[in-house]
Amino acid sequence: MPNKCPTCHSDNPETVKFCGECGTQLPPPHDHPPVMTETLQTPVRELSTGSSFAGRYQVIEELGHGGMGRVYKVFDTKIKDKVALKLIKPEVASDKETIERFSNEIRLARRIGHRNVCKMFDIGEAEGAHFITMEYVHGEDLKSMIEMSGSLSLGMLLSVGKQVCDGLAEAHSLGVVHRDIKPQNIMIDKHGNAKIMDFGIARSVRDKEMTSAGVMIGTPEYMSPEQAEAKEVDHRSDIYSLGVILYEMATSHVPFEGETALSIAMKHKGETPKAPKQLNSNIPDDLSGVILKCLEKDKTRRYQNASDVRAELEKIEKGIPTSERVIPEGKPMTSREITVKFIPRKLVAPALIIMAIAAVGAVYLLFFSKKSGTLEPAPKRSIAVLPFLDMSPAHDQEHLSDGISETLINSLSNIPDLYVSATTSAFSFKGKNLDIREIGKKLNVEAVLEGSLQVLGDKLRVITRLISLEYGYQLWSETYNQKLDDIFSVQDDIARKIVRALKVKLLGEKDVQIVNSHTINPEAYEFYLKGRLFLNQRTSEGFKKGLTFFNKAIELDPSFALAHVGVADSYNLMGSYEVFPPQDVYPKARKAAERALELDERLGEAHTSLARLIHLFEWDWAAAEKEYKRAIELSPNYPLTRISYSVLLSAMGRSEEAIAEAKYAKDLDPLYSLPSAVLANCYYWARESDKALEQIREALEIDPHSPYSLQIFARILVQKSMFEEAIRICQEREALDASIESLADIGYIYGKMGKRDDAKEILKRLEEIEEGKYVSRFSIALIYIGLRDFDKAFALLNESYRNREFGMIELKITPRLDDIRSDSRFKVLMKKMGFEYGS
């Protein structure tokens, strides 16, 4: 049974004498806790699983609680990723100075960008509570590992020790001291990667006003002698605490124990610890010596920086058998390894020579000396263009930074023999604290282009870096300082130099323009980028705003072909998402797509837009397939074409071809949930429910909150007669986007289950919604099919046919219509839809 701290109420193991969170001496495990004071009776806000907080965070589970408050794993709906959220106790948050200190400290901690340091995000206030957000790390803390296994293996000790040294070295170089390094603050994931947690009480050694004299900060067993005396500390205090951690990993004991926090502090100040070798004879003498040097009372006699400790540990590691070494999976580059540094003038010439030799060597290794025994080779020559960072003072140029990245991806995708990771997969890492090698491994590419953009008035600065992932070399970097109206030439120059660096033959020997912007008007281009930003939100409001920006771009430059494609895509999506009646939007989509093709007949994106409206509204299957094939010929690596074409093939009953196209789209965009969900739908329509279930779970792993994936998941569950679970998934989707389709699916399932009253209640709700919003006849027809009122269902399906609704394209293949397939009226509908083609 955990031993609860009387001060902060955190749970501690029975064997621990002092609280791991606040250092308070704990009562004997079976004693009754003392009566709390009025202050401590202040209620601590708790968040329940499944609830939302601050209008942004969806609570997944509670991870633990301690002196500052409770910690939760949450899903951040803004950045679309899991983060950790620490809800600060009211009695802590009530002190304005404390909150101000936390804010300053998080500002300092955010400067640390390193794989072995948990990233701090922000401090905020919502719903009457203060909270801190930080990177979520899946694993267990080092303290738990030690308690479970006793002293760690030598290989694990050295691996963890080196990683902690790396994280501390990065923080110390930025002037940030942790002050509370302990095993509870070090997380180890399943691959052996270590992250230092909770720089929440870190202080900058340069910010003297933030140092409170006479205040002892730290956990008694791990604090340095200078901390015990409440003296000013620097980075060497963290070196001492690191020594304690190494001692505990080697022996399963801390150097000093005592009955009170004060007695332990006095031992740190005045007693000499036993040599670790005395407690564990299996550790090398050198390691015992390293630990004792970290634990010197006089900080001038300790190692003076974490890098020196790491060097000693690495030297020891080289002396042990290779089989005993622990190598964390996916060793990344630190921020220093991928950041261009300013070099003192005296060193410029030799540094440039060395960099030039390294770059040439890297290119040679990357493309001409592929070794055997390496990881699975990436397809062709391959690159990923990551979203460029917006470093503008107001951070208001996201549309421009995203636009440059997306334009480069689209331009490079047209180069023969070069595989370029699709936009959605590359952009899935946006806002996430992952190292570049990990990203490259997930995308299966050889090189990554990353960059940043800064706009100051009419001045534009773009910084780019091209990095080889296999060898860790920076192949090429460049900084552009130009006027904002020169953005097209900047993009062209970046793409041209990347091609040269990658040794890809570009359109023969000609030096041609790579980037086809379709406009020379920078303001029009900016409106286009903003339109794409909103369109990618995939919401009804986003479609409308996107359309507004595309039209503004066209007003400035009527010959801007991509802006016309944007208009076509906006109307197409409004039709397929049933924002407006089909007749109101698809004809406008055709007009815009045709205008784009008049301006540029070879624009693959425009052919895809035209194919989609022919497919989804005009139902001319042969013409749609012709347009899809033309789009693939012009832009073979445009995932949306493959996705849409697979839907057409599947609807025609050509399942094998459909599955092949969906798989191709998935390979192009492996970290985008849509291709996996479409592949799942192809299997669902082909009645291969087990494969469908496997694929949809994969899609939901990528994006657990994708409405489309949830929709397909529910339908697969119905196919497997898992009705209750299907309803729960439909309700989850309906809560995300107030989906009419989800309500209709629920009504259909209720009908299948024999819950007629519940199904009819859904019909009433849809009638109410219909007063202010378009509700498709096809959706209502499904509910009547579930209720087995086939006369009403056929009347609605015929109305749906006259309205040319999206749902009718699945008439031939969907399992949801199986109950009416034997009816002669169904065969009449099939003939009307022209489904004989391709049968």
Angle (CA) 681-642-638 rounded to 5° is 135
Radius of gyration over every alpha carbon of the chain, rounded to an integer in angstroms: 31
- How far is it, in rounded angstroms, from Cα 134 to Cα 409? 31
- How far is it, in rounded angstroms, from Cα 705 to Cα 702? 9
The owner of tokens 């005592």 is 258
Active site residue 180: yes
- How far is it, in rounded angstroms, from Cα 651 to Cα 621? 10
The answer to whether the beta carbons of residues 364 and 471 sit under 8 Å apart is no
Contacts of 495 by beta carbon, 8 Å cutoff, 6+ apart: 408, 411, 412, 514, 515
* HEC sequence for 625-637: HHHHHHHHHHCCC
Burial class (CB in 10 A: 0-12, 13-18, 19+), 539: middle
2: helix, coil or strand?
Answer: coil
- How far is it, in rounded angstroms, from Cα 108 to Cα 120? 9
Sign of the alpha-carbon dihedral angle for 149, 155, 161, 167: negative
The owner of tokens 């090189």 is 447
- How far is it, in rounded angstroms, from Cα 744 to Cα 736? 15
Query: Among 171, 268, 277, which Cα is nearest to 227's?
Result: 268
Query: Among 179, 186, 169, 334, which Cα is nearest to 246's?
Result: 186
- How far is it, in rounded angstroms, from Cα 452 to Cα 479? 10
Contacts of 675 by beta carbon, 8 Å cutoff, 6+ apart: 639, 642, 643, 662, 665, 666, 668, 669
Q: What is the DSSP string of 224-277?
A: -HHHHTT----HHHHHHHHHHHHHHHHHSS-S---SSHHHHHHHHHHPPPPPHH
Sign of the alpha-carbon dihedral angle for 562, 503, 336, 137: positive
Query: Among 637, 678, 674, which Cα is nearest to 660's?
Result: 678
- How far is it, in rounded angstroms, from Cα 269 to Cα 240? 12
Cα-Cα-Cα-Cα torsion 481, 487, 489, 490, nearest 10 degrees, comes to: 50
Out of 180, 557, 569, 737, the active site residue is: 180
CA 342 to chain centroid: 31
Structure-block tokens of residue 97 = 């100075």
- How far is it, in rounded angstroms, from Cα 695 to Cα 702? 11
Q: Which residues are catalytic?
A: 180
